[in-house]
Structure 1
Amino acid sequence: MTFTPAKWPRTLRSQHWYGGTSRDAIYHRGWMKNQGYPSDVFDGRPIIGIMNTWSDLTPCNGHLRELAEKVKAGIWEAGGFPVEVPVFSASENTFRPTAMMFRNLAAMAIEEQLSAQPIDGAVLLVGCDKTTPSLIMAAASTDIPSIVVTGGPMLNGSFRGERVGSGTHLWKFSEAVKAGEMSQEDFLEAEQSMSRSSGTCNTMGTASSMASMAEALGMALSGNAAIPAVDSRRRVMAQISGRRIVQMVKDDLKPSDILTKDAFENAIRTNAAIGGSTNAVIHLLAIAGRVGIDLTLDDWDRCGRDVATIVNLMPSGKYLMEEFFYAGGLPVVLRNLGEAGQLHKDALTVSGDTIWSDVKDVQNHNEDVIRPAQNALTQQGGIVVLKGNLAPKGAVLKPSAASPHLLKHRGRAVVFEDIDDYKAKIEDDDLDIDETCIMVLKNCGPKGYPGMSEVGNMGLPPKVLKKGITDMVRISDARMSGTAYGTVILHTAPEAAAGGPLAVVQNGDMIEVDVDARKLQLDISQAELDARLQNWSPPKDVAKTGYGWLHHAHVEGADTGADLDFLKGCRGAPIPKESH
């Protein structure tokens, strides 16, 4: 493609750095030329930042440098100037206490990189759980034309003839060891088959869910979410996305044009249809907050309530992401939603067209993987929002991963004050607990853990597992991995560390759960609850300096997305003042 500056309808942002013959322009261009760029690449063509979350310590994203080369090729072909920018990569595998604590730090850092540098458009190169929402949050805050390219899921795992799903079988095998049904040696052998290629989790965990959310929101090209990491079509997707972002800059197609209320409602319904992660709730709430969209937990319950879960993938179902891609991937799900009247068909996408135009002609190639609605895994698959005196601002549950017989249950609370208390007690045969009890975990929310770790799917006590019981009701202010399963009530708000009612639940209290009635009730009087809360004291072990202090002081509750309060809203990308 021959680049003709006159075709660009406006002066691009990057020209405030590189345009003209001033001393400052020469300064900026001159240093860039030490990498061997010819003069004409600074002639007004768009500069595209490839915001790359590659890191050796983020193994899910370990192949993104190779993928970035294909993005660059597409940008050059379309007449743009690609610049690869390494950005904060919050790895789910290595960050402690939890990668979630650093999602907001990553979003803040990347927002500043987009805003402070000569970038006209951005390719968000993501994969691991928190990298997708953090980069979309940053792009929403700056409102620079942006397109998401995910790294894709790894290939199917297999152990002794059984499909092995990332994360899902980690929890399953771990419980089997505690129950005496699997040896530690077999567990270690199975480890070798859990991650057999580059890519993110091969289940419908948080990474695949957020890749699907990016596509359903319209922030990625149609078909992006499910292509396996090592499939050649993943590299093709990267290259055509590189081409597309150049045209998006020309058209000034920005996140605020795409991330509308209709787009978020499409994503919520999509998450229900795919049996997606509960983590998507927090991330979409946070993204919506960056573009000023009024999205609430009530929207999640309203939009997802009547959507069937039709994707038969672990942890809710049988298959893995490889089969999902071969069956047709997310476009088939979106088409089915559209045909059922559950999709805002006119929502705009990064393609420049509507979401319905992108998917209306796709075909389903395997109806056991992507099922017809009449043969769904569950007819009401949306994330359920429970409220009551135990969760005045809401708590969430994923019905497609829960046990039907526990969706209406009253049980005695067995309380763990924090995750260390849980670990100290759970394997003790003297612990007063049976399968009728409700396990309650406190102080694991955004402030409490800190950062809100994925510990909500507490493993059951061995004394219960040995009876053949595989599920119990569990309640916490924590999150759980999107690869996990069980009747697990999460994100209880307000959290315990902020003085929510969860903080004062005591051993022996009776708790009532009624999913159909959307009820989560602590069976004590209001007077007793008020008295307990008056005697409650906040935790004293709080960071005094550094990011830990900043996070604790400014993080909001799970019910609004757990963003930092001063980061909400779109600040745009003004031209920074000269420094010389």
Structure 2
Amino acid sequence: SHGHCMTMGTASTMACMVESLGMALPGNAAIPAVDGRRNILARASGRRIVQMVKDNLVMSQILTRQAFENAIKVNAAIGGSTNAVIHLLAIAGRIGVKLNLDDWDALGHALPCLVDLQPSGRHLMEDFYYAGGLPAVIRELGPLLNRDALTVNGNTLWDNCKDAPNWNREVIHAFDEPFKPHAGIAVLRGNLSPDGAVIKPSAATPALLKHTGRAVVFEDSEDMHRRLDDESLDVDEHCVLVLKNCGPRGYPGMAEAGNMPLPPKVLRKGITDMVRISDARMSGTAYGTVVLHVTPEAAAGGPLALVQNGDMVELDVEARKLHLHVSDEELARRRAAWQPPAPPMERGWTRLYFEHVQQANLGADMDFLVGKSGAAVPKDNH
């Protein structure tokens, strides 16, 4: 409906993250925009904000390490977007909570997906809400969560959800009868991603989760759009599509360019998925065997910048491995010849962003915005 993400894309994922963090009233994440209960909850939220000010209940009391752990686990259970990784890392950085990329793998990789919802499943967010919404999912995860995590209504997360009904088991599955057995974000490392990369296994083709193929390299998004449809492109379904310079600095702004389309000559064979690797993000509505957020990014001099056409690239999700089969000596030779990109602008906010944005594994936030600072009251300037 209007103003509502109908699938578990990034918008709906982050609404679920906010509720699981305790920063929204129970049920907020999934109410359709045209449902009258959205207006009721909006009014209740406004009243609660006023009371929170009176009670001096501040964000740092709610956004604790325990709250972020809960959100990571909930993200797995709902089949949430890979964009949640960057957003939660950035939020944790702003509030002063120690959270890193490996926490996503350690806390969520073995958890099942409980929600049969597009793009991983069949149903829509409207169905999710009428089946019980996020409180029903949290109730299923109960034993695994930090139940005493505080929320904005003054109650714990478990107090809010322990009696939540589940009206439709076809949409929200029981924990011991999950929709998919493994759903969390997997963090990959290797000589191609020394600081980490991410993949969403529940959205990938199982047969491609362990794959070695020849790299077909695109230097940036313009190069990809210019050459991908070219019938003379030397590519087949066994290749690995590699996209550079689409990270925080390279694009700039880390666009959702990572879910590269497949070449037409491959699509005509009936192939619907290939391994794709980039330093970009992708939409939460996208799916496929797509490795994202490779860090350091190409524009920052990461190994991704050194990949050439014909290099063999190995992906092994179970082993958490992303490896470029090129010798250290050859990589050193390529690095010596590599030239860093010039800033996209010589002045202004874009130049400031280019010089201060962090890498994806740190949340892609500005480095000078990290750290809990509170709400400073400026001096009277009259």
Q: Under a length normalisation based on structure 1, what TM-score does the superposition of the two structures give?
A: 0.65
CA distance in 2, matches of 1:562, 1:200: 26
CA distance in 2, matches of 1:244, 1:226: 19
Q: C-alpha displacement at 1:556, in angstroms?
A: 0.5
CA distance in 2, matches of 1:252, 1:443: 45
Quick check: 1:473 aligned with 2:275? Answer: yes
Match of 1:318 in 2: 122
- Where do 4+ consecutive residues of structure 1 move more than 3 Å? none
> Which of the pair has more CA radius of gyration?
1
Report which structure shows greater RCO (CA 8 Å, sep ≥6): 2
- Report matched runs for 1:335-346 at 5 Å: 335-338=139-142, 341-346=143-148
Match of 1:230 in 2: 34
Match of 2:312 in 1: 510
Name the amino acid aligned to 2:76.
A
CA distance in 2, matches of 1:290, 1:548: 21
Please give the secondary structure, in 2, of the residue aligned with 1:391: coil
Distance 1:467 1:374, change over 3 A: farther
Q: C-alpha displacement at 1:513, in angstroms?
A: 0.4
- State whether residues 377 and 400 of structure 1, in contact with CA within 8 Å, keep that contact through their aligned partners in structure 2: no
Given the alignment, which residue of 301, 309, 313 partners 2:113? 309
Match of 1:424 in 2: 226
Q: Which runs of 5+ in 1 are unaligned?
A: 1-153, 155-197
CA distance in 1, matches of 2:237, 2:178: 29
In the alignment of these two chains, the number of paired residues is 382
- State whether residues 381 and 400 of structure 1, in contact with CA within 8 Å, keep that contact through their aligned partners in structure 2: yes
Report Cα offsets for 1:493-548 as digits up to 9, x if no partner: 00000000000000000010000000000011122222212221111352111111
CA-based RMSD of the aligned residues comes to 0.9
- Report matched runs for 1:179-258 at 5 Å: 198-258=2-62
Please give the secondary structure, in 1, of the residue aligned with 2:304: helix
Given the alignment, which residue of 539, 542, 545 partners 2:341? 539
CA distance in 2, matches of 1:448, 1:394: 17
Please give the secondary structure, in 1, of the residue aligned with 2:222: helix
Report Cα offsets for 1:13-71 as digits up to 9, x if no partner: xxxxxxxxxxxxxxxxxxxxxxxxxxxxxxxxxxxxxxxxxxxxxxxxxxxxxxxxxxx
Quick check: 1:266 aligned with 2:60? Answer: no
CA distance in 2, matches of 1:201, 1:242: 23
- State whether residues 373 and 379 of structure 1, in contact with CA within 8 Å, keep that contact through their aligned partners in structure 2: no
Please give the secondary structure, in 2, of the residue aligned with 1:375: coil
- Report matched runs for 1:35-74 at 5 Å: none
- Report matched runs for 1:405-444 at 5 Å: 405-444=207-246
Given the alignment, which residue of 358, 362, 371 partners 1:560? 362
- State whether residues 218 and 263 of structure 1, in contact with CA within 8 Å, keep that contact through their aligned partners in structure 2: yes
- State whether residues 113 and 179 of structure 2, in contact with CA within 8 Å, keep that contact through their aligned partners in structure 1: yes
CA distance in 2, matches of 1:563, 1:380: 29
Match of 1:519 in 2: 321
Report Cα offsets for 1:243-296 as digits up to 9, x if no partner: 111221111110000000010000000011000000000000000001111100
Q: Under a length normalisation based on structure 2, what TM-score does the superposition of the two structures give?
A: 0.99
Match of 1:140 in 2: none
- State whether residues 408 and 514 of structure 1, in contact with CA within 8 Å, keep that contact through their aligned partners in structure 2: yes
Report Cα offsets for 1:437-484 as digits up to 9, x if no partner: 000000000000000000100000011111111000000000000011
Please give the secondary structure, in 1, of the residue aligned with 2:272: coil
Report Cα offsets for 1:302-324 as digits up to 9, x if no partner: 00012101111111110000000
CA distance in 2, matches of 1:348, 1:217: 9
Quick check: 1:577 aligned with 2:358? Answer: no
- Report matched runs for 1:115-154 at 5 Å: 154=1
CA distance in 1, matches of 2:266, 2:228: 10
- State whether residues 186 and 199 of structure 2, in contact with CA within 8 Å, keep that contact through their aligned partners in structure 1: yes
CA distance in 2, matches of 1:323, 1:489: 30
Match of 1:381 in 2: 183
Match of 2:159 in 1: 357
Please give the secondary structure, in 2, of the residue aligned with 1:249: helix
Q: C-alpha displacement at 1:300, in angstroms?
A: 0.4
Quick check: 1:463 aligned with 2:265? Answer: yes
Which segment is superposed worse, 267-276 or 369-378?
369-378
- State whether residues 261 and 293 of structure 1, in contact with CA within 8 Å, keep that contact through their aligned partners in structure 2: yes
